[in-house]
Amino acid sequence: MARKYFGTDGIRGKVGDFPITPDFVLKLGWAAGRVLAEQGEGKVIIGKDTRISGYMFESALEAGLSAAGIDVVLTGPMPTPAIAYLTRTFNGQAGIVISASHNPFYDNGIKFFAGDGTKLSDDVELRIEALLESEIEVVDSQSLGKVTRMDDAAGRYIEYCKGSTSQQLDLRGMKMVIDAGHGATYLVGPAVFRELGAEVITMGTHPDGVNINENAGSTRPEGMAARVRETGADLGIAFDGDGDRVIMVDDKGEVVDGDQLLFIIAMDRHSRGVLNGGVVGTLMTNLGMEKALEAAGIPFARANVGDRYVNELLIANDWQLGGESSGHIICRDASTTGDGIVSALKVLKAMQTAGQSLSEMVSAITLYPQVMINVRVQNKRDTDSIPGIVDAVKKAEQEMAGKGRVLLRPSGTEPVIRVMVEGEDGAQVKAQAEKLAKVVEQELSSS
């Protein structure tokens, strides 16, 4: 059965537009609470990023869960992976994060974690959706859920991050720029690296409710790259709004994306004999990454886009490492979900083990030119069923003569069709992507 509200990463949209409204989120909290109540007594950990609407939706979820008889523990602004960790270690029945990740401040979303810190199963999401069609029924007053605050949430998570590498890092003598994107890592991010001894120059650490991801963070690393060059820093580390993605900048001021970071971690583990299997990427993973892993004798598999699908394939293969070019990296031996801070620490550990700078580590992989264009649409239709688009894709693939690939897919978090073209010839890739984007826009606007 298809899910009506849940996408690849929870429920997301523009604040004030259904379903991202206070009344819907209240009912969502109640419906989730009812499903959890069937599993016995427990509590739900709720965190959020720094969007101004987070206060409103936090209150709505709190009311809905309480009406279903579920206790709530509030952490305040915390990274998504922190909620996954705290849910697991605090014996929560579930965790909820109020965030739209890398989206602008006027968007928001609700995503859930199961008690073990992994994303909710499709079955549980479907049960929640089914209850959304019912009227809210409030439990007896003596059974209403209680609400408390976890005052030491930040300290717990900082210590977890510091202990996530096999041996605690010593970052004394290293200068780095940390860009929190005015998001959920604005406090804990710089604290982790400072406590490990690094000299930290901060950016994006003054959230005001509306500046999250605004010309900052992992989706806009240009400012951080400039700061690295200006200050002579050894590297830069940028997180997205909810802290589950990381993008880095090397000592030369060049951006290092998620595929490159994943490759560095994989090669470090491979060299130490602790990779324990292969690496999972997605349909968007750069072909250069696949070729580089193949040359090193490391198995590689592609999952559907979305960290939940990466994690599902990791579990199915009993592998430990996977991720996306956007900077979602999952190290299953350390975390149950993508964790920007932990992933950055893994890269720093690999650098120390190899005795190399980040630019030297990155030089071992050559990425293929890749262009992605987001075509905004009213209705995210299946492009495989539209003849004009199918013919255009076939023509593009023929013109690249086996030296490239095309991928069209609807976003799971935004009203766009992502048009991705990748190949050896950068100019050809750009031209094909622009041509396909025009076809998609024309076909979908006329259909």
Active site residues: 101
Nearest to 5 by CA among 378, 338, 412: 412
Q: Is the dihedral of CA 332, 333, 337, 343 positive or negative?
A: negative
Please give the Cα distance from 250 to 186 (Å, whole number).
21
Distance between the two ends of the chain, CA-based, in angstroms? 26
Please give the Cα distance from 349 to 243 (Å, whole number).
19
Task: Give bridge partners of residue 71 from the DSSP assignment.
Answer: 43
Nearest to 99 by CA among 1, 207, 174, 193: 207
Please give the Cα distance from 43 to 65 (Å, whole number).
9
3-state secondary structure of 238: strand
8 A C-beta contact, residue 327 and residue 304: no
Please give the Cα distance from 131 to 64 (Å, whole number).
13
CA distances to 181, 243, 266 from 187, in Å: 11, 11, 29
8 A C-beta contact, residue 260 and residue 347: no
The number of residues making up the chain comes to 447
CA distances to 70, 84, 134, 277, 282 from 34, in Å: 8, 21, 11, 39, 34
287 backbone dihedrals φ, ψ, rounded to 5°: -60, -30
8 A C-beta contact, residue 198 and residue 168: no
Exposure b/e, 188-216, CB count within 10 A at least 16 = b: bbbbbbbebebebbbbbbebeeebbbbeb
Calculate the CA 138 to chain-centre distance: 35
Q: Is the dihedral of CA 93, 98, 103, 108 positive or negative?
A: positive
Please give the Cα distance from 216 to 227 (Å, whole number).
12
Please give the Cα distance from 432 to 418 (Å, whole number).
14
